[in-house]
Amino acid sequence: MEELSGAGRFRLLGADGRPVRSAVPGTLGGHRGSRIYGRLDCPSALRAIASGRGTYEAKRVFFADADTAAAAGFRPCARCLTDAYRAWRAARGAASGGAGVTAG
């Protein structure tokens, strides 16, 4: 998480997908490329970070909460937010009439 100096020490993404400064760190992390958000201790995210390639970190973003992440166009991680992912997937299927819904 990018830490800055001053009252707005942390850079998070807001509901509009634009960076905002916050006095408190984000509670969820996301990946700008995949548009997926999850817990900061998500095994999938930690594995990508541990790979050492640096590509994941370059697109890492943080959110204050799940509502903000969803409003910014990110979906829940199927690995660390299983229940939220299932609800997102069910809602997506209902919105599209249930046709062509896949995990991912």
pLDDT tens, residue by residue, 6-62? 567 899 999 999 999 999 999 999 999 999 999 999 999 999 999 988 889 999 999
pLDDT at residue number 4: 46
Rg for the chain, CA atoms, rounded = 14
Q: Which CATH architecture has domain 10-95?
A: 3-Layer(aba) Sandwich (3.40)
Residue type, 42: C
Closest by CA to 13, choosing from 89, 66, 57, 58, is: 66
Q: What mean pLDDT is predicted for residues 64-81?
A: 98
Q: Among 13-17, 36-40, 74-78, 93-97, which is the least confidently predicted range? A: 93-97
